[in-house]
Amino acid sequence: MPRQVVLATHNEHKVHELQQILGGAGLDLEVLTMSAFPEVADVAETEVSFAGNATLKSSAVAAATGLPALADDSGLSVDVLGGSPGIFSARWSGRHGGAELSRAEKDARNLQLLLDQLADVPDAHRGGAFRCAAALVAPGQEPVVVEGRLEGVIGRVPEGENGFGYDPVFLPEGQERTLAQHSDEEKNAISHRGRAFRAMVPHLRALV
């Protein structure tokens, strides 16, 4: 029976991406998602770095499930904004009263706020990077943390239907298509998350 590992996220877009990335690695691992553990509460991202938040989430889920847990924290760092939104990428536009917005609604508001903040910034200064830290915690073992990065520029108009978050306005370095205009396979080959999780493969293989 293959060894099990839990993806410590409720974000179905991330689950889809990570299952594709890990599925292509030939690992004899059964990848479980948090839907298999409805009793495990969400983990608040209270650290001040991507690596800290990823380690926090994977440690909590490993402790709650007794299984190795894999988590990531990722976001967009824009040069002219001093590295923001950074760890606040998923909640950049803040809370919206007492209403609970869908992820698509939150993504749309975050993206629009970013575009508004960069409206007067010339093309030459719209550089940034997607960053990802992935953390693997097996019960009784020290966390393993790896990172991935994708450089690019921020476009002015959302383009593309694939992907999520800031993908529709992020053009990878040297390309004229946004990440949201890439196929899943194309995106996974170059993305910050793909790079981080491919770097994690040897550590996952050690679990088998």
Q: Active-site residue numbers?
A: 73
The answer to whether 129 and 153 have CB atoms below 8 angstroms apart is no
Task: Give residue for tokens 């910050």.
Answer: 192
Residue 77's φ and ψ, nearest 5 degrees, are -115, 120
Residue 116's φ and ψ, nearest 5 degrees, are -65, -40
Residue among 116, 148, 118 nearest 130 (CA): 148
> How far is C-alpha 186 from the chain's CA centre?
16
Cis peptide bond prior to 85, omega within 30° of 0: yes
Tell me how far CA of residue 154 lies from CA of 19, 29, 143, 177, 186, in angstroms.
Answer: 27, 37, 33, 11, 19
Residue among 72, 90, 50 nearest 197 (CA): 72
| Cα four-point dihedral sign 152, 157, 160, 166 | positive
